[in-house]
């Protein structure tokens, strides 16, 4: 089995690439979905978040108020560090469980979508790392026009992430998402062929 880490800064187009790889045959693990899983009501993670950030971090139904929590930690490195210290260990443990399940099934190619792969130090979890990238101005425009961020919110979010250039140097494959969907699909198919060639043969 080949374990692939898929990453990239916000609004680079990871979700589109992930969906294409899924359709081509990859087993997909979505780290954001794992985060939502460990933050479900009744979990130790959610209880610790409420202890650290107060009851205002929760909605009236007891679920996490993600938008409010995002505003709380944005621009506050100490608060963000505290949140990461609560959430990331639980996500890492669950991710390893999902990888082990895929390995037991004999899945040849497993792609994990991990937006903060480098920030949380997950490089050694994977055999190969793919970065999806686009110029910052394009990503900023996507945040404002497609995700309804204000320009100020978009700038703050972009500034909070590690520069893409350093991530490019630490990645095995870079997918540029600056053109049409058709061009992106063609590039992803090229990458898929590379993964298939590197994956161990079935039954090996």
Given this model, what pLDDT does residue 203 score?
Answer: 43
Q: What is the pLDDT of residues 6-20, one digit of tens each?
A: 999 999 999 999 999
**Structure-token pair, residue 86:** 């609560």
* Cβ–Cβ under 8 Å, residues 135 and 24: no
Q: How far apart are CA 192 and CA 143, in angstroms?
A: 28
Given this model, what pLDDT does residue 204 score?
Answer: 41
Place of tokens 């058709």: 182
Q: What are the backbone dihedrals phi and psi of residue 131, each rounded to the nearest 5 degrees, phi first? A: -110, 130
Helix axes 77-105, 66-73, angle to 10 degrees: 130
Query: What's the pTM?
Result: 0.88
HSE-CB of 147 using CA atoms within 13 angstroms: 16
> Residue 175's beta-bridge partner residues?
132
Q: How far apart are CA 161 and CA 7, in angstroms?
A: 12
Give the chain's domains with CATH numbers: 2-197 (3.40.50.300)
Q: How far apart are CA 77 and CA 45, in angstroms?
A: 20
Q: How far apart are CA 50 and CA 54, in angstroms?
A: 5
Pairing of strands 109-113, 27-30: parallel
Given this model, what pLDDT does residue 68 score?
Answer: 93
Give pLDDT tens digits along the chain (204 positions): 999 999 999 999 999 999 999 999 999 999 999 999 999 999 999 999 999 999 999 999 999 999 999 889 988 989 999 999 999 999 999 999 999 999 999 999 999 999 989 988 999 999 999 999 999 999 999 999 999 999 998 998 898 888 989 999 999 999 999 989 999 999 999 999 999 999 876 544
Q: How far apart are CA 6 and CA 22, in angstroms?
A: 12
Q: What is the pLDDT of residues 128-137, one digit of tens each?
A: 999 999 999 9
SS3 content of the chain, % helix, strand, coil (to 5): 55, 15, 30
């Amino acid at each position: 089995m080949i374990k692939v880490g898929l990453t990239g800064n916000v609004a680079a187009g990871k979700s589109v690439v992930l969906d294409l790889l899924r359709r081509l045959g990859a087993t997909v693990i979505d780290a954001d979905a794992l985060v939502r899983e460990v933050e479900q009501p009744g979990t130790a993670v959610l209880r610790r978040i409420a202890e650290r950030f107060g009851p205002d971090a929760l909605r009236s139904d007891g679920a996490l108020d993600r938008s409010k929590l995002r505003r709380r930690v944005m621009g506050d490195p100490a608060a963000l560090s505290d949140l990461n210290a609560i959430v990331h260990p639980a996500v890492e443990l669950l991710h390893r469980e999902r990888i082990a399940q895929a390995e037991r099934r004999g899945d040849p190619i497993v792609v994990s979508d991990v937006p903060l792969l480098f920030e949380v130090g997950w490089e050694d979890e994977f055999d190969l790392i793919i970065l999806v990238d686009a110029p910052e101005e394009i990503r900023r425009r996507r945040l404002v026009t497609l995700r309804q961020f204000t320009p100020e919110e978009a700038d703050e979010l972009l500034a909070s992430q590690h520069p893409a250039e350093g991530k490019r140097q630490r990645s095995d494959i870079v997918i540029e998402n600056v053109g049409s969907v058709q061009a992106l699909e063609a590039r992803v198919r090229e990458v898929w062929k590379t993964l298939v060639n590197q994956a161990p043969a079935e039954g090996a």
